[in-house]
Amino acid sequence: MKEFDGKVALVTGGGSGIGRATAIAFAREGARVVIGDRNAQCGEETVQTIRDTGATASFRRTDVSAASDVEALVDHAMKTFDRLDLAFNNAGIEGDVRPLEEQSEANYGALMDINVKGVWLSMKYEIPRMLEHGGGAIVNASSVAGLIGFPGIGIYVASKHAVIGLTKTAALEYSAKGIRINAVNPGLIDTAMADRLAAGVKTTKGDLAPLHPTGRIGRVEEVAETVLWLCSGRASFVTGHSMFVDGGFTAC
Amino acid sequence: MKEFENKVALITGGGSGIGRATALAFAREGAQVVIGNRNVQRGEETVSMIRASGGTASFRRTDVLVAADIEALVNHAIGTYGGLDLAFNNAGIEGDARPLVEQTEANYDAVMDINVKGVWLSMKYEIPRMLKRGGGAIVNSSSVAGLVGLPGFGIYVASKHAVIGLTKTAALEYSAQGVRINAVNPAVIDTEMVERFTEAIGSSKEDLVPLHPIGRIGRVEEVANAVLWLCSGRASFVTGHSLLVDGGFTAR
């Protein structure tokens, strides 16, 4: 018996990076997986990767900043697999890299709409479905930038701090009803987003390795394993927590 | 293949409560377990429980505030099982419950010596042995009292804050050499220590339930699950972290 046999897991931003790795990991552990992504091609690719392993997945194009999209994604999960147990609200963008005084209102709006409003909307539509069968587990994507600042990405930093606030409040409101809600806070992970972030500050991922006491940046599978653990029954007393997967980044 | 097959795990304070539950869990997952405890009878009881279930364990009487005792415990692990891979530095006391003004120097010394010096001494002797095997994982016992204050337990609170400081520093120093070091931070768990805690403040375990948004206090097995996950390869990018197993206690 696999850990998530019989469960349905929803992953936003499941078309690439950490989201894709987590969707694949959920499927490997027996869950039926619903993937939302803004990019249809990337999302369908993840579904195909999962189906190639004999597991079950379904995609729906989703812009997490649009309430009707998120509602439709959750409805899609219900129609396709009849229930919703687990969610990884992971869709996010890094935005423009520049000092706060040079940041544009357009960038502010895009970042906060996707990274914060998207997480709130996701929970807003997921939680009632989870309550229908007595509980579930949610993990929201925050970051080491949910705890500390980074020059050049102040709006991103604000958005990831806000995700922790939403996560704590959701945990206070729904934990007693059987839904555990936590955040995952990665350090620098080997993704296309990290490439863009590094390029934005005119460096490379490799140059950022020394920020991590482990001496290397992380792998997407390492974040996926953490999300799965938080969603598992073995984390039954863990809620409202921000779980750092950062190679010691924030211990400095 | 069990998760910790061929691994040697050391647990201080393994004679009761969270320590005993974690020792049993390590053994269930295939580890050879070395138990240190001040109370011989209870330490031997844990060993008997493990052996009765077909696991492997050995006890040595240990007072963690005595360097010679810790050194002998680590040497006992090496002598008995040939090495050391994992450690849960869990031995601790709650001390007297009274306001800071009324606390005694004897209580201060006892709490700090066992809870802080004991964790440092444990790491001091464990780490070189782990480095010899090319790496390992350590979990130190902190508490929600490592993050917030608790009236009546100021010295205990100081000691559990100090454990987080030791943990972060150890992670900075040894993560790149392959030893991951984290803390586990339980809230109120159903143990004898908590019974003493609550009696001392004229309360009961049940009275403390509302401190936990999840609507109940925790079970020792839930802390054990968190310790085992932190020690597993699935937590390979998690180091220097304080993992709250608190039912949402610190989310508010």
Q: What is the model's pLDDT at position B197?
A: 84
Q: What is the model's pLDDT at position A77?
A: 98
Question: From residue B99, how far is each of A110, B103, B143, B198, B225 by CA, in Å?
Answer: 50, 6, 19, 15, 34
The β-bridge partners of A35 are A11, A59
Task: Check CB contact under 8 Å for A215 and B215.
Answer: no
Q: What is the model's pLDDT at position A118?
A: 97
Q: B244 falls in which pLDDT band (50, 70, 90)? A: very high
Cβ neighbours of B223 in A, within 8 Å: 237
Q: Which residues contact A19 (CB under 8 A, 6 or more apart)?
A: A11, A12, A13, A35, A37, A46, A88, A90, A91
Q: Which residues contact A149 (CB under 8 A, 6 or more apart)?
A: A157
Q: What is the model's pLDDT at position A233?
A: 97
Task: Check CB contact under 8 Å for A213 and B240.
Answer: yes
- Which residue in B167, B215, B237 is closest to A247 by CB distance? B237
Q: What is the model's pLDDT at position A93?
A: 97
What would the mean pLDDT of B42-59 be, rounded to a whole number? 98
Residue B161 reports pLDDT greater than 90: yes
Which residues of B are known catalytic residues?
Answer: 156
The three-state secondary structure class of A35 is strand
Preferred mutation among B188, B222, B238 to probe A, highest tally of A CBs within 10 A = B238
Q: Which of A93, A163, A95 is nearest to A123 (CA)?
A: A163
Q: Give the whole-angstrom CA distance, residue A113 versus residue A95.
A: 11
Low-confidence ranges of chain A (pLDDT < 70): none
- Which residue in A234, A243, A251 is closest to B243 by CB distance? A243
Q: Give the whole-angstrom CA distance, residue B197 versus residue A9.
A: 40
Cβ neighbours of B246 in A, within 8 Å: 237-238, 240-241
Task: Check CB contact under 8 Å for B251 and A252.
Answer: no
Which residues of A are known catalytic residues?
Answer: 156
Q: What is the model's pLDDT at position A205?
A: 87
Task: Report chain B residues touching chain A, CB-CB < 8 A.
Answer: 167-169, 171-172, 175-176, 180, 186-187, 213-215, 218-219, 222-223, 225-226, 229, 234-241, 243-248, 250-252
Sign of the CA dihedral running A50, A54, A60, A65 = negative
Preferred mutation among A190, A227, A238 to probe B, highest tally of B CBs within 10 A = A238
Q: What is the model's pLDDT at position A175?
A: 97
What tokens were used for A20?
């894709």
ipTM: 0.90
Task: Report chain A residues touching chain B, CB-CB < 8 A.
Answer: 167-169, 171-172, 175-176, 180, 186-187, 213-215, 218-219, 222-223, 225-226, 229, 234-241, 243-248, 250-252
Nearest residue of A to residue B218, measured between CA atoms = A237
Cβ neighbours of A135 in B, within 8 Å: none
Q: What is the DSSP string of A162-218?
A: HHHHHHHHHHHHHGGGTEEEEEEEE-SBSSHHHHHHHHHTT--TGGGGGGSTTSS-B
The pTM assigned to this predicted structure is 0.94
